[in-house]
Structure 1
Amino acid sequence: MKPIHLTTAFALAASAALGVGTIQTAQAATLKMECGATGNDRAFCDYVEQRFTEATGHDLEFVELPNSSSEKLGLFQQIFASGQSGVVDVFQADVVWPGILAPHMLDLSDGLGDLEPHFFPGAWQNNVIDGELKAVPGLIDTGLLFYRTDLLDQYNEQPPQTWAEMERIARKIQAAEREAGHDNFWGLVFQGKAYEGLTCNALEWVSSHNGGTLVNADGEITINNAGAAEGLDMAAGWIGDIAPRGVMGYQEEESRAVFQNGDALFMRNWPYAYLLAQDEGSPVKGKVGIVPLPKASGDGQHAAALGGWQWAVSRYTDHPDAAKALVRILADAETQTQRFLMTGVSPARKDVYDDPRILDKAPYMSELLSVFEAAIARPASPTGDNYARVSNAFYNAAFAVLNGEMSGEKAVADLERRLARIKRNAW
């Protein structure tokens, strides 16, 4: 089936609503579902279509969206503002969207709420807004610490459990490698550019020092505390020491390029980077390990920012029951397993991580189970449609600390005041 580009579908639907054109009315039993444009995504969608039509007797039609998350969000906001029901029924929502799009998402509690025990807690709770289940997790991501197994072995070191251990090992091996002639070798790379990726990194530094999550689940601003300041100051100390100053311009792919080229010992990144590092032709193939991100010394915690995509249903769908039936298929163990086998994305269901088919293809997946269990959600749900402003304020404050413009203590105090202005009386 040839997919419909969602921008085209929206334009046609809007024209019809305004009386400036006509479109053919879709069959009542035809659902429109988002599907990616790549070959692997299409193979997965074809699998879902076969299961859905056989199980329900309904038809499934695919629509394509822009690749950029921000462009997709903008398009959805246009679609939902129009209230059109014939554009898309079931779609994928980024992990930070439920709080933004909640008014336009169907409550899935009745019919899908029983699935909660099968999913990672953080991923599930991220989608509960004001007591309503707005989406079901489709795939999950968290921050991880990648390391060079060969170099740790060579220098008789173990993967670090704390940030202090990581710093010590990074300095030791960085100095030794440079002395051996590897002049551009660094101990650590991460995502330090002022963008959403820095929000994720900085949230991990803050939370690992028991500094909270900027805004708690009740909407209270919690960032102004000693742990949060300490986490930011710690990262600032890496710049020019174990991490290049250029890291303040790095996103995910710049970090991966340095690490995969063999020029860094440690890297903070998302799980996708593992498979790429093991590709044929990769200079570090067979030399990469992954562990949870370090915690602060003492009573800190391992903290990894939650990422991923969720399956949601438009509130304006004409077929809510059929849409829920489709989401149930998308959420079941076999579908999530098949999606991993076809596309390589990490399942959001925790009960498939011992599936022999998954472990045969990617033995490292078993190591991710505990990391996903403890993933920390960004404060998108409590801040709602103000989240973009909250995140912008946070990553700019973190960048100022990395850049040496202010201390962590001053940054979190200033950030508290800025967030209070954004919140005013309520989010």
Structure 2
Amino acid sequence: MRRVRGISKAATLIAPALAAALILSACGGGGGGTSQNSDALTGTGPITLVQGKDTSGNRHNQIDAWNKMHPDQKVTLIELPEDADTQRQQMVQNFTAKTATFSVVDVDVVWVAEFAANQWIEQLPEAQIPTSSYLAPTLETAKYFNKLYAVPRASDGALLYYRKDLLTAAGVTNAPTTWADMTAACKKVQAKQPSIGCFTGQFSKYEGLTCNFSEAINSAGGTILNDQGKPDVNTPQAKAGVDFLVNGFKDGYIPKASLTYKEEESRRAFQDGNLVFERNWPYTYAKFGATDGSSKVNGKFAIAPLPGLNGPGVSTLGGHDLAISKFTKNKLTALNFIKFLTGQAEENNNLQATSEAPTWASLYDDPALVAKYPYLPVLKQSILKAKKRPAAVQYQDVSAAIQNAATDALTGAKTSDQALAELQTKLTQLLAK
């Protein structure tokens, strides 16, 4: 999930019991399974790539490289705002208008089901994609009813960034593996530096909150949906996860300002030296390690798996896939450009330029890359063990329900018991449609 625009933002992961209910509402217009044959991806010429803001600048570099090699098939970058909800809204508006403006769309992994079901994106020729080269969870995000509608461009597993220098000075020798370990370490650091905050994540009311809230529940042994695809969020395990966050705001180990944080706000707070711990995606590693004076934590931070209630926690699976708009021209160029951006060479290029999580499994085991990016083994395990967000064609409604419940609990508008009970009811209604 570089950022969750997200994380991410999987349709074949819909549990069998849920799929039947979803297909009635999702495929009323013929469904994703009746997409135009992928052999019909024809036409060469100029195209556009549509994505969130290119904060690293590397997408421009990659496009320049393509354009130099293909002067008659130039790609123009269309940058959307940073936040996921606005990106999705603008893509949906373009699709519903059936305009040809958007060619290749960079989509959060949780949007593939909706876009495919509404026949907004093309089914892709799987035989032309090196599917066996990708981390298995990333490939599954690109499918809808077992058919390929996108190609994994970047994966995401959340990491715990921490101030190794501050922990060492406070006599803490190991990264925390539990929430109790983390808060205890904070107290030791704050005994020496009372002004520094303890921990933050992304708790503004947007897609990132869905990821953080789900992680807390999953890291306490709970779940949003059970193995049968039915809501199962009103449980003691889920409450334990939510209470970790609720108590964090009450007791102050999560700063109140975190209620306004998305990825970039929380990244800046840690990068400016205001926090001991931060939960974020791997793209921030390069920002924290910047040597141009922009980072106050360069050389002072380390990474670890997310902590949980009784041991290591569980990340939400994030990432971005590339898909082709049903309504664009020059679809063969679009397909070839996707192959270029998602090939091993450009995945390696993008990793080294941005620290985004690659999708090619081999890159995580490359000794030279691991020496340069020591977070790769931790990140690989984070991705392989990550849990997906609830896969539903009406995902935006599901995510909105989770965000509403989370906000009510975190702000104290409702108790965690009330918020979870109401979320159980709301999800049951949504997934019964």
Q: Normalised by the shorter chain, which TM-score bucket?
A: 0.7 to 0.9
Q: SS state of the match for residue 59, structure 1? A: coil
Structure 2 residue 235 is matched with structure 1 residue 222: no
Residues 368/97 of structure 1: CA separation in 2 closer, same or farther (3 Å cut):
same
Q: After superposing the two structures, state which structure 1 stretch, 152-161 or 237-246, moved more.
A: 237-246
Residues 343/168 of structure 1: CA separation in 2 closer, same or farther (3 Å cut):
closer
Structure 2 residue 160 is matched with structure 1 residue 145: yes
The aligned residue for residue 296 of structure 1 is 309
* CA displacement at 1:116 relative to structure 2: 2.9
Q: Which amino acid aligns with 1:295?
A: G
Identity %: 29
The aligned residue for residue 392 of structure 2 is 383
The aligned residue for residue 209 of structure 1 is 220
* CA displacement at 1:319 relative to structure 2: 5.0
Q: Which amino acid aligns with 2:139?
A: W
Unaligned runs of 5+ in 1: 1-26
The aligned residue for residue 120 of structure 2 is 104
1:412 corresponds, among 416, 420, 424, to 420
CA RMSD, 1 decimal: 2.8
| Aligned positions of 1:36-115 closer than 5 A | 39-50=57-68, 53=70, 59-68=73-82, 69-84=84-99, 86-102=100-116, 103-108=119-124, 110-112=126-128, 115=130
Residues 259/335 of structure 1: CA separation in 2 closer, same or farther (3 Å cut):
closer
* CA displacement at 1:98 relative to structure 2: 0.9
Is the 2:44–2:331 contact (alpha carbons within 8 Å) kept by the matching residues of 1? no
The aligned residue for residue 370 of structure 1 is 381
Is the 2:50–2:102 contact (alpha carbons within 8 Å) kept by the matching residues of 1? no
Q: Which amino acid aligns with 1:78?
A: Q
Moved over 6 A (4+): none
Q: Which amino acid aligns with 2:392?
A: T
The aligned residue for residue 157 of structure 1 is 173
Number of equivalent positions: 382
Distance in structure 2 (CA, Å) of the matches to 1:248 and 1:409: 20
Q: Which amino acid aligns with 2:178?
A: T
Q: Deviations over 1:207-233 (max 9, x none)?
A: 112212x24576422322221111001
Larger radius of gyration: 1
Structure 2 residue 413 is matched with structure 1 residue 400: no
Is the 1:219–1:383 contact (alpha carbons within 8 Å) kept by the matching residues of 2? no
* CA displacement at 1:344 relative to structure 2: 4.1
Q: Comparing both chains, which one has the higher relative contact order based on Cα–Cα distances under 8 Å and sequence gaps of 6 or more?
A: 2
Structure 2 residue 316 is matched with structure 1 residue 308: no
Q: Which amino acid aligns with 1:234?
A: F
Residues 325/139 of structure 1: CA separation in 2 closer, same or farther (3 Å cut):
same
Is the 2:85–2:207 contact (alpha carbons within 8 Å) kept by the matching residues of 1? no
Distance in structure 2 (CA, Å) of the matches to 1:231 and 1:324: 42
The aligned residue for residue 122 of structure 1 is 137
Residues 287/35 of structure 1: CA separation in 2 closer, same or farther (3 Å cut):
same
Is the 1:400–1:406 contact (alpha carbons within 8 Å) kept by the matching residues of 2? yes
Unaligned runs of 5+ in 2: 1-41
Distance in structure 1 (CA, Å) of the matches to 2:136 and 2:162: 27
Distance in structure 1 (CA, Å) of the matches to 2:62 and 2:306: 31
Structure 2 residue 335 is matched with structure 1 residue 324: yes
Q: Deviations over 1:184-221 (max 9, x none)?
A: 22222222222222211111111112212x24576422
Is the 2:85–2:206 contact (alpha carbons within 8 Å) kept by the matching residues of 1? no
Q: Deviations over 1:254-301 (max 9, x none)?
A: 32333223232111122222222222333222110011101221xx66
The aligned residue for residue 263 of structure 1 is 274
The aligned residue for residue 23 of structure 1 is none
